[in-house]
């Protein structure tokens, strides 16, 4: 197995990874970026992005990520398509294996592996993704202004998305699998006190309806077995996200879901020289613009770390 040494290894692409690459490359750190299995991250599955600054007319998600990549490449970031399949942070410098083929020894590592939205697993849901099916109301809700929509979920995220949509949509159905919600009491009260939100208790989605775009959903009452249909234009899945952090579990601190922990106000992890950006550590905002911001933080933190290491070297 071949081995190479780098100053900065960026694991993952998307807004945080590419932003980290831009800053690191401009600082002369010659970063190597391994894209991961989904180059560009979640935005590559988003048709229209209208809330990222600098795109006054909006932009197609994949095109936006191509723009980010081109900007990183302009400053000579070494972008490689592949997967980091394992890491070893037990000693310094850090090690990573790419595609089980070669080893990178890195003086600093910026983790930008993101998170993946959880879906119900229905074929119709997958077929209509980006054609009325979404996992982000804040990202896509504007496109359904004035239309009736549904949200699936029972936690705080679902409650937040339902109340957000209720401000711009005349009717919001909240599909809850049990006869109670998991959301915090205050979020439950907000849902129940919002007149244009109708909670469908003991309900599961049997099918998302529509050929080329969402036109409705067939709902199964899991107590009575009765099926009914609702007419909607947007179907929002809010049953959680899974951070793509499995390969780091033996080395880095993470919460019960898998989001990596950082020192407050930084991108620093519990291991010296390892930094985290974007949705791999952000369970709250999960927006492209906040991910890009933390990408900047990761690169600046890595730059300062490497400068200190260089200063401390014996003459």
Q: Which residues are registered as beta bridge partners of 114?
A: none
Structure tokens at 262: 């950082």
Sequence-separated contacts (24+) of 283-286 with Cβ below 8 Å: 283/241, 283/243, 283/255, 283/257, 283/259, 286/115, 286/136, 286/241
CA-to-CA separations, 231 to 13, 19, 165, 206, 209, in angstroms, rounded: 38, 41, 16, 14, 9
**Do strands 149-152 and 234-237 pair parallel, antiparallel, or not at all (unpaired)?**
parallel
139 has catalytic annotation: yes
179 has catalytic annotation: no
CB distance 23 to 296 below 8 Å: yes
**Annotated catalytic residue within 48, 67, 76, 140:** 140
169 has catalytic annotation: no
Please state the separation of Cα 83 from the chain's center in Å: 17
**Annotated catalytic residue within 67, 76, 99, 139:** 139
Nearest to 20 by CA among 221, 285, 280: 280
The H or E element containing residue 164 is helix 156-166
Structure tokens at 71: 């900007």
CB within 8 Å of 225: residues ≥ 6 apart: none
The torsion angles phi and psi of 79, rounded to 5 degrees, stand at -95, 125
The angle at the Cα of 204, spanning 232 to 238, to the nearest 5 degrees, equals 70
**Annotated catalytic residue within 76, 88, 99, 136:** 136
Separation of alpha carbons 63 and 44, rounded Å = 8
Q: Which residues are registered as beta bridge partners of 134?
A: 236
Terminus-to-terminus CA distance in the chain, angstroms? 33
- The catalytic residue positions are 136, 139-140
């Amino acid at each position: 197995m071949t081995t190479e040494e780098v100053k900065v290894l960026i694991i993952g692409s998307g807004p945080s990874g590419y932003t980290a690459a831009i800053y690191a490359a401009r600082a002369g750190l010659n970063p190597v970026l391994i894209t991961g299995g989904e180059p560009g991250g979640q935005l590559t599955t988003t048709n229209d992005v209208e809330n990222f600054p600098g795109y006054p007319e909006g932009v197609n998600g994949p095109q936006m990520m191509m723009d980010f990549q081109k900007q990183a490449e302009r400053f000579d970031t070494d972008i490689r398509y592949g997967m980091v399949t394992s890491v070893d942070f037990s000693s310094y410098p850090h090690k990573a294996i790419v595609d089980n083929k070669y080893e990178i020894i890195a003086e600093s590592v910026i983790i930008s592996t993101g998170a993946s939205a959880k879906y119900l697993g229905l074929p119709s849901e997958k077929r209509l993704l980006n054609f009325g099916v979404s996992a982000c109301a804040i990202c896509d809700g504007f496109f359904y202004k004035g239309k009736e929509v549904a949200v699936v979920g029972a936690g705080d995220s679902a409650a937040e998305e339902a109340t957000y949509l209720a401000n711009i949509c005349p009717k919001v159905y909240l599909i809850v699998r049990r006869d109670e919600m998991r959301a915090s009491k205050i979020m439950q009260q907000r849902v129940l006190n919002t007149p244009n939100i109708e909670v469908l208790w003991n309900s599961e989605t049997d099918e998302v309806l529509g050929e080329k775009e969402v036109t409705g959903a067939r709902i199964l009452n899991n107590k009575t077995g009765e099926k009914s249909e609702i007419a909607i234009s947007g179907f929002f899945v809010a049953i959680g996200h899974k951070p793509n952090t499995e390969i780091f579990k033996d080395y880095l601190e993470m919460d019960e879901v898998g989001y990596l922990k950082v020192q407050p106000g930084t991108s620093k992890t519990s291991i010296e020289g390892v930094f985290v950006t974007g949705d791999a550590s952000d369970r709250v905002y999960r927006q492209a613009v906040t991910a890009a911001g933390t990408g900047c933080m990761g690169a600046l933190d890595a730059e300062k770390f490497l400068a200190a290491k260089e200063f401390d070297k014996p003459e």
